[in-house]
A and B are shown apart, each in its own frame.
Chain A
């Protein structure tokens, strides 16, 4: 990577009482890059996501986006600066329409004051953003479900909705927490193409994923965590050949012929 990294994480540490959930973690992420974080359950992957997004306050370390510190900011400020996430478990807004769900992601793009709203301004922004939200829903493959009740969406469609919602914020950095979990094979293929396309548009993608078959052709680089520590970092090919990684994580997959199935069962 020649360009300066968009997101830099330095010495990131989180203690929960006596437990070191994340221990002196360093990594860089550039625009247009897909970086995967892998590791066994309890390795600190989701905690790392929470730390980067401001949902969990760090014990030590720095998180820097384009030279400005992100650490210590509340989650909504982190999002306002262009860092958006999806959740491991679908977190749709159940009382709202699908398009409104997507529009929530675009919240930071609505600039009008409340007085303006009451006076009746802002209808143009609303219309334009609504149209954009519909296009995003189509982009992730939910175009036929625009008017559907959120409760009737399948789990996989819920995953796609999470991605559309995060994209509506025009993220610089997109964090995807196990986006492929629970998808049907065809949804999985679509998701793969979507993530490739997002990265091609210059978004830095940070990804937690258990499914190695899905992840290896997708990621530019892989960071491997174990007990909160980074034990390896490199291209997918390098990671696959790393004996420590095989010992800590990949080994139990290699033993199982169905591969990804074992990881899912463990999750």
Chain B
């Protein structure tokens, strides 16, 4: 109950912030929220399930393109576009996962890297369907139940999506499923000897996190009302990987911290040193990893430990 209220307060605060920002800040803010949602689901896939997969932006892009194409070319109602998008994403993810989660270590990484390139190639050469290199635009969010959702109200929708993503992943993480994912990550042989079906668990984790990425993609489609290949590049994928590692691999709070710090960093670095900010960004990542190898979130570990000990003592009284 207490954690539910904390979450509710956090979501309300995030919504309220959306109403205070100007239009440029709002755009940055919405993308930050989407990056956080992506960071959370990628953290579950990479940090908790231990799958080194670079397909997360493929599924983000898939969701975004699916909903855009549905509106522009197919004239589908929004609800149908979203539902079908998530369904197709789930089927596609499972089809990719079933053969590729049997690959271990670098092979899964290589297979999903190839998938990423294939996806970019596909949307760049999709002619009218995808709009090619310049992307697909000229659509907007249809009215929802008669209301035109825009401005901070759309930001609130993104906050809601982020909250849903957080709750789903948090509950999975705290369940026997999340434990099984971590066990496979730490020692697959031992996990299987304890009754865990490793291939099945990996496929489910891959599918759920990929569908959540597609869900974020659907919301991304209406941020600029334009979807273009540039947003789904492998460069973004690696930045997401850095964010999760810098924040604290395998921890939800770590993913959030990592995304916020690395997403905001360029906005502070660029005015200082201009064009070279990418080099400074790289240096920052390296320094943070050396300084906090278990992630920035580990700064809070002493506090968390003290709290846990207090709870334990209270339970024993």
Chain A positions near chain B (C-beta within 8 angstroms):
53, 55, 74-76, 79-80, 84-85, 87, 91-96, 100, 103-108, 110, 112, 114, 117-118, 120, 122, 126, 146-147, 165-166, 169
- Contact A117/B175 with A79-B194, A80-B195, A93-B183 known, Cβ cut-off 8 Å: yes
Q: Which of A75, A92, A93, A122 contacts B192 (CB 8 A)?
A: A75
Give CA–CA (A146, B316) in the complex, Å.
13
Measured between alpha carbons, how far is A134 from B200 in the docked complex, in Å? Answer: 28
- A residues within 8 A CB of B168? 118
Q: Which of B187-215 contact A (CB under 8 A)?
A: 187, 189-198, 204, 208
Taking CB atoms, residues of chain A closer than 8 Å to B175 are 110, 112, 114, 117, 122, 126
Chain B interface (Cβ < 8 Å from any Cβ of A): 167-168, 171-172, 174-177, 179-180, 182-183, 185-187, 189-198, 204, 208, 250, 308-309, 312
Shortest Cβ gap from B254 to chain A (Å): 13
Check if B309 sits within 8 Å of A165, measured CB to CB. no
Complex contacts, B193 vs chain A, CB 8 Å: 53, 55, 75-76, 79, 84-85, 87
Q: List chain B residues, Cβ under 8 A from A126.
A: 174-176
**A95 engages B176 (CB within 8 Å):** no
- What's the Cα separation between A87 and B193 when bound, in Å? 10
**In the complex with contacts A76-B197, A93-B183, A147-B309, A117-B190 CB distance below 8 A:** no
Q: In whole Å, how far is B280's beta carbon from the nearest beta carbon of chain A? A: 32
Cα(A126)–Cα(B208), bound, Å? 22
Q: Are B189 and A55 neighbours in the complex by a CB distance under 8 Å? A: yes
The answer to whether A84 and B172 touch (CB under 8 A), given A96-B179, A96-B186, A147-B309, is no
Q: List 27 A-B contacts (CB under 8 A).
A: A55-B192, A74-B197, A76-B194, A76-B197, A79-B194, A80-B195, A84-B195, A85-B193, A91-B190, A92-B190, A93-B186, A95-B186, A96-B183, A100-B179, A104-B180, A104-B194, A107-B176, A110-B176, A114-B172, A114-B177, A114-B208, A117-B177, A126-B174, A147-B308, A147-B309, A165-B194, A166-B194
Identify 17 new A-B residue pairs, CB closer than 8 A, beyond the known A55-B189, A79-B194, A104-B194. A74-B192, A75-B189, A76-B194, A76-B195, A79-B195, A87-B193, A96-B179, A96-B186, A103-B179, A105-B194, A107-B179, A107-B180, A112-B175, A118-B168, A147-B308, A147-B312, A166-B194
A107 touches B196 (CB 8 A): yes
How far is A42 from B187 in the complex, measured between Cα atoms in Å?
A: 25
Tell me if B194 and A84 are in contact (CB < 8 A). Answer: yes
- Min CB–CB distance A262 → chain B (angstroms): 30
The 8 closest A-B pairs by CB, nearest first: A79-B195, A110-B176, A93-B186, A91-B190, A108-B195, A117-B175, A75-B192, A104-B183
Q: How far, in Å, is A62 (CB) from chain B's closest CB?
A: 21
Tell me which of A87, A104, A107, A108 has the highest count of chain B C-beta atoms within 10 A of its own C-beta.
Answer: A104
For B174, the chain A residues whose CB sits under 8 A away are 126
Closest to A125 in B: B176
> How far apart sit A92 and B189, CA to CA, in the bound complex (Å)?
11
A104 near B312 with CB under 8 A, answer no
Q: Are B177 and A76 in contact (CB under 8 A)?
A: no
**Known A55-B189, A84-B194: A95·B182 in contact at CB below 8 Å:** yes
Return chain A residues, CB-CB under 8 Å to B204: 114
Nearest residue (CB) in A for B175 is A117
Whole-angstrom distance between the Cβ of B6 and the nearest chain A Cβ = 16
Closest A-chain residue to B204, C-beta based? A114
Contact flag A117-B171 (CB < 8 Å), given A79-B194, A93-B183, A107-B176: yes
* Inter-chain contacts of A87 with B (CB < 8 A): 189-190, 193
A165 to B186, CA, bound (A): 15
B182 touches A169 (CB 8 A): no
Q: Closest approach, in angstroms, between the C-beta of A201 and any C-beta of chain B?
A: 19
Find chain A residues with CB under 8 A from B179 CB.
96, 100, 103-104, 107
C-alpha gap A120/B4 in the complex (Å): 12
- B186–A94 CB distance below 8 A: yes
Choose one: B190, B191, B195, B308; the contact of A169 (CB below 8 Å): B195
Residues of B within 8 A of A76 (CB): 192-198
The CA-CA distance from A147 to B315 in the complex, in Å, is 14
Q: Given A91-B190, A93-B182, A95-B185, check contact A120 B171 (CB 8 Å).
A: yes
Minimum distance in angstroms from A105 CB to a CB of chain B? 5
A186, chain B: closest CB distance, angstroms = 25
| Contact (Cβ within 8 A) B189 A91 | yes
List, in ascending order, chain B residues with CB within 8 A of A75's CB. 189, 192-193
**Bound: A104/B195 CA distance, A:** 8
Residues of A within 8 A of B187 (CB): 91-94
Chain A's closest residue to B195 (CB) is A79
- Taken together as a complex, chains A and B put the C-alpha atoms of A100 and B177 apart, in Å, by 12
Chain B residues contacting A165 (CB-CB under 8 Å) are 194
Q: Are B186 and A107 in contact (CB under 8 A)?
A: no
Contact A96 B197 (CB under 8 A): no
How distant is the Cα of A100 from the Cα of B179 in the complex, in angstroms? 7
CB distance from B4 to the nearest CB of A (A): 10
- Closest A residue to B187 by beta carbon equals A91
A122 to B, closest residue via Cβ: B175
CB distance from B69 to the nearest CB of A (A): 29
